[in-house]
A and B are shown apart, each in its own frame.
Chain A
């Protein structure tokens, strides 16, 4: 059984069809990188997986369970999400950003949640920033906190929506390092990214999307090193 199963996923905004029938599986422990030009539907596909966008058609299964409007809160807690613009809660300190989910959604005790939060902050190298507020952190640090926050619910899957696109170039590396570390530990990850180097190094599978379709998929060597489709070649020649 796949960790994520996407079957016939369609998404339209009014008349505009953004996803035109996507089928894709992600296995446990696999890192899937989604690349493609802007407007290709890659972020929309990611956001449909945890229903931040409501699919127009098709089905999504997480660990064999169909995701529906009714079970969405429960399903979302199995999927951590990391956003392009971090979306940390500015009125909460770093540690409170990490305990708010476990304490309120899973009713963990403040102590247990804080203990786990400190372990996660150590993992992303920011334990000393626990009492700071997000606005006092650099972009790279904020994104690392956001990754730690996504891990607080012990998710089976992490979804990354262009996690380094809003960062100054010198901060991209620290965030990618945290992500590589997670991949090595066997976390199942779906990453929408423009970082081809990251995709090449970490991904088990790369899919290239364009105009709402998956144009090409395969290992990083196949898709990035030796693309078969013209559109993939064209895109890669522009970004590499």
Chain B
């Protein structure tokens, strides 16, 4: 039993790293995702193509591969141009990790946001425009606030997914939950307790979040039924 507790406590040391990377990444993902979603709605074919290619690339490749490219591939490429570049000079290996997670979740968030915007009745945009609002103002004041309520559950689900996905970041030098467990395993050989501890540490983060989403969805469903 003692080993299980120890394994769990060791894994918990990774919680701050996992949470910080996930939080920064989800904020970055939401901001870039919104930008991509807006790009996919405009008349300009070039912007629409850029958004589409970006989403296809990110969704079509494993995040571990993206992380390896960002953390190790890009520094070597830049160094080959004769520029001295190491991530450790720019804040450490957490930086490429956060960037990859943020860019990755942006692709998924853009789809979520796009479908949220499309779910709003087009009469809302017409009513806003007929008051003299520009397209941008109508988006900001009328469409996006309504879309946010629709996409909130999907947004939180994406956060849960992202927390679990950060487990690949041990491969690019971030000592998060899984990496702490792996390191303890390789010194103590307590393999089962180590990874059970890791699993429980992730669940502490993800299960309350999932419960929160379910509660919100039930509340919204009740509100719909009442209206």
Residues of A within 8 A of B (CB): 50, 52, 73-74, 76-77, 79-81, 83, 85, 87-91, 100-101, 104-106, 135, 146, 149-150, 152-153
Contacts and interface: CB of A to CB of B under 8 A. Distances in A.
A73 B134 contact: yes
Interface string B116-140: 0000010110111111111001000
A79 B123 contact: no
B215 interface: no
Interface residues of B, number: 19
Contact of B142 (A73, A89, A149): A89
Nearest to B132: A77
Given A83-B127, A100-B141, A105-B137, 20 more contacts: A52-B130, A73-B129, A76-B129, A76-B130, A76-B132, A79-B130, A80-B130, A81-B126, A81-B130, A85-B123, A87-B124, A87-B126, A87-B127, A89-B146, A91-B146, A100-B131, A104-B137, A105-B133, A150-B130, A152-B131
21 contacts: A50-B130, A52-B129, A52-B130, A73-B133, A74-B132, A80-B130, A81-B126, A83-B123, A83-B127, A85-B121, A85-B123, A87-B124, A87-B127, A89-B124, A89-B127, A90-B146, A101-B131, A101-B133, A104-B141, A105-B133, A146-B127
Nearest to B145: A91
B131 A76 contact: yes
A77 B227 contact: no
Nearest to A102: B131
Contact of A104 (B129, B130, B133): B133
Contacts of B142: 89, 100
Interface of B: 121, 123-124, 126-134, 137, 141-142, 145-146, 149, 227
Contacts of A80: 130
A126 to B, nearest CB: 18
A133 B124 CA distance: 15
A74 B131 CA distance: 9
Contacts of A77: 131-132
Contacts of B145: 91
Contacts of A104: 133, 137, 141
Interface centre among A79, A87, A152, by most B CB within 10 Å?
A: A87
Nearest to B142: A89
B223 to A, nearest CB: 9
B131 A149 contact: yes
A91 B132 contact: no
A183 B130 CA distance: 20
Given A83-B123, A83-B126, A87-B124, A101 B132 contact: yes
A83 B149 CA distance: 24
A83 B123 CA distance: 8
B131 A105 contact: yes
A168 B72 CA distance: 67
Contacts of A100: 131, 141-142
Nearest to B124: A87
A91 B149 contact: yes
Closest CB pairs A-B (n = 5): A77-B132, A87-B127, A101-B131, A81-B130, A87-B123
Contacts of A89: 124, 127-128, 142, 146
B132 A105 contact: yes
A8 B12 CA distance: 74
Nearest to A75: B132
